[in-house]
Each structure stands twice: as structure tokens, then as C-alpha cells.
Amino acid sequence: MTDASHPRAPADPNDPKGLIRESYRIEGITDAECRSILVDWALSLSESQPRAAIEALLARYGTGAEDHPMTLVLREGLTEAPSARRRGGRAARMREG
């Protein structure tokens, strides 16, 4: 049975649980809270490459909200992560000894 007073909007494939949309509605939300929400969002995303989804969400919610913590966190999500370098292991121990 559906409640006509609360029509359910179709799910956005870029934000299936509405987490990003709701984060923009929370007054006084912090960077840390936005990061936590972004992790939950990434886990709920069906595609393995979230870059296009982040770009779409920034276009939808970030325009006019450039200083919002979620906008800043989403922008960080578009930056390339530094490549991991292996540290330690047997070779490192052999050099030290």
C-alpha cells in the first residue's frame, strides 16, 4: 500500500539511496559527516567507477552550493589518488642490515 501524501521519487542511479541529496539538506553538516556519507554512497553505487556519478551529482547539487562541505568532498573525490609505493618487505630489511 502506498501513501499518496508521500509520493516516492524514482531512484537516481547516481544516488540510489538519496544520501548525497539528503546531505545537502542537513544544516550545519561537517566535512567529516560528508566523508562518512560519501563512503556509504560509494558502497551503495552499482558501478565500479564512480567518477561519472560524482560529476553528475556535482552538476545537480553543487551548482550554487560551491562552499557546501559535500561539494568540497565530492570535488576531492574527483582528484586522482597518488599511486601507492611499496615500502618495507624483505628488500628494505636487507638494505638496513
Q: What is the mean pLDDT of each run of 10 residues along the chain (97 residues)?
A: 51 91 97 96 82 95 96 93 66 62
Residue 14's nearest CA partner among 33, 49, 70, 79 is 49
pLDDT of residue 4: 45
In a domain, 9, yes or no: no
* Phi, psi at 12, each rounded to 5°: -85, 120
pLDDT of residue 45: 83
Give counts: helices (H), strands (E), the chain: 5, 0
In a domain, 85, yes or no: no
In a domain, 37, yes or no: yes
- Cα–Cα distance between 26 and 24 in angstroms, integer? 6
End-to-end CA distance of the chain: 72
- Cα–Cα distance between 23 and 19 in angstroms, integer? 6
In a domain, 59, yes or no: yes
pTM confidence score: 0.71
pLDDT of residue 68: 98
pLDDT of residue 66: 95
Counting the structural domains of the chain, the total is 1
- Give the domain extent around 35: 30-78
pLDDT of residue 9: 61
In a domain, 95, yes or no: no
In a domain, 96, yes or no: no
